[in-house]
Structure 1
Amino acid sequence: MEIRPYRSGDRAAVHDICIRTADAGQDASGSYADPGILPHIFAHPYAELEPELAFVLDDAGQAVGYVLGTADTAAFVRRFRDEWLPRVADRYPAPAGEPATPDEVMAHLLHTPERMILPDLKEYPAHLHIDLLPGYQRAGHGRALVDTFVGALRRAGVPGLHVGMITDNRSARAFYDRLGFHVVDVADPGPLTYLGLLC
């Protein structure tokens, strides 16, 4: 078992891991007509736009978990809008009105990357996404992945990072609490709790 930089050959595994863990660590494939939208929001753009901050947990040559993200959320949002969205917008068009299905909710998120920019998070410009297949959870691998990501941020001089997690996801909250993250109050958090960590 090792943590190593993401490689282009990991794309299919990362795609699968994202879908199989998107429901609070469990399989979300049955919740969407096209669950492929999930990695196109939460995984692939990070791996492709900032590969230097993408790492996988490798078990005998197979990626079984990952951490990826951005060092600068505002800059990432601009690149997402200009470079990433044009690649996938035709496959996942924006909903015409208020999102009414899980797929439309995700399509809305895809087409509104600016939602990620929150003034209250300015001291924590980086953010990350981390996912591990169920058989590799609760074994210390998540901590090791986050430590790898934070180390890369420190080397780049990034002052802090944040995560936005579904408030009801108690296991994720306990995980981040153990790593030293703390609640960051934001003006309009919606269904999320924002946690920060100074690097």
Structure 2
Amino acid sequence: MVTVRPYQPFDLPGMYQVCLRTGDSGQDATALYRNPDLLAHTYAGPYPVADPGLSFVAVDEQGVLGYIIATADTLEFETWQEEHWWPGLREQYPVSLGQDPQDGTQDWLRIAHIHRSRPTPDDLYEKYPAHLHIDILPRGQRSGLGRRLVTTLTDALRARGVRGLHLGVGSGNPGAFAFYQAIGFHEERRADWGSTMVMDLQDR
């Protein structure tokens, strides 16, 4: 039995685990990081702090097995990160650590990202200002849970009057691309890293 419910602060450790265990294009990224928290510091942690009302978790008898997190306004969120999230992490992880140690680990990439990130306006945000991240452990996949989480989030965004939603899908994760197409997203942009997909929240 899987319950989908709003995020609570005690869910955060479980969310960090899910982020790490799905962080390599949907596969377990544990072996890629010396510091198991760095990936989630970048892609999970700030969302429920900035706007807990747009964070939802899926829980079963073993704990958190998935989540969906979002911001209603990407540029506003990036500005919040610059003011409130990145400064502490930049102090904790000096820029000197953002160099490739040539050992196959990826901590340095996340640290470089922490120091490089800045609020970046984009014309895309005019129609699709919200963005999301969703991660589900293997035991919760192919069960309809992904669609359930997305529906929960889009209902919350529509209730706020948000116009549209976007997300990024890495080129190494074709299964995710197909899933998002199946639930109503379409590809807006394509780049070397992957695709930007969008959903109009006013069309239904």
Q: Above 0.5 in TM-score?
A: yes
Separation in 2 of the partners of 1:76 and 1:83? 10
Find the counterpart in structure 2 of residue 91 from structure 1.
92
Aligned pairs for 1:47-196 within 5 A: 47-60=48-61, 62-95=63-96, 99-100=99-100, 102-114=106-118, 117-185=121-189, 189-196=191-198
Instruction: Kindly provide the CA deviation profile for residues 115-153 of structure 1, in whole angstroms up to 9, marking residues without a partner as x.
Output: 764323431100000001111111100110011010100
How many residue pairs were aligned?
Answer: 196
Instruction: Kindly provide the CA deviation profile for residues 48-77 of structure 1, in whole angstroms up to 9, marking residues without a partner as x.
Output: 111000000011372211000100000000
Find the counterpart in structure 2 of residue 40 from structure 1.
41
Moved more, 64-73 or 104-113: 104-113
Find the counterpart in structure 2 of residue 25 from structure 1.
26
Letter in 1 for 2:10: G
Q: Is the 8 A contact 1:73 1:116 kept in 2?
A: no
Q: Is the 8 A contact 2:70 2:130 kept in 1?
A: yes
Q: SS of 1:196's equivalent?
A: strand
Q: Tell me the C-alpha RMSD between the 2 structures.
A: 1.9
The gaps in structure 2 that reach 5 residues or longer are none
Separation in 1 of the partners of 2:189 and 2:125? 9
The gaps in structure 1 that reach 5 residues or longer are none
Q: CA deviation at 1:96?
A: 7.3
Cα separation, partners in 2 of 1:107 and 1:96, compared to 1, 3 Å:
closer
Identity of aligned residues (%): 37
Cα separation, partners in 2 of 1:117 and 1:169, compared to 1, 3 Å:
farther
Q: Is the 8 A contact 1:94 1:104 kept in 2?
A: no
Q: SS of 2:127's equivalent?
A: coil
Cα separation, partners in 2 of 1:195 and 1:151, compared to 1, 3 Å:
same
Instruction: Kindly provide the CA deviation profile for residues 21-72 of structure 1, in whole angstroms up to 9, marking residues without a partner as x.
Output: 1012111010122231100011010011110000000113722110001000
Moved more, 55-64 or 20-29: 55-64
Separation in 2 of the partners of 1:154 and 1:169? 28
Separation in 1 of the partners of 2:90 and 2:97? 14
TM-score, length basis structure 2: 0.89
Cα separation, partners in 2 of 1:94 and 1:74, compared to 1, 3 Å:
same
Cα separation, partners in 2 of 1:105 and 1:170, compared to 1, 3 Å:
same
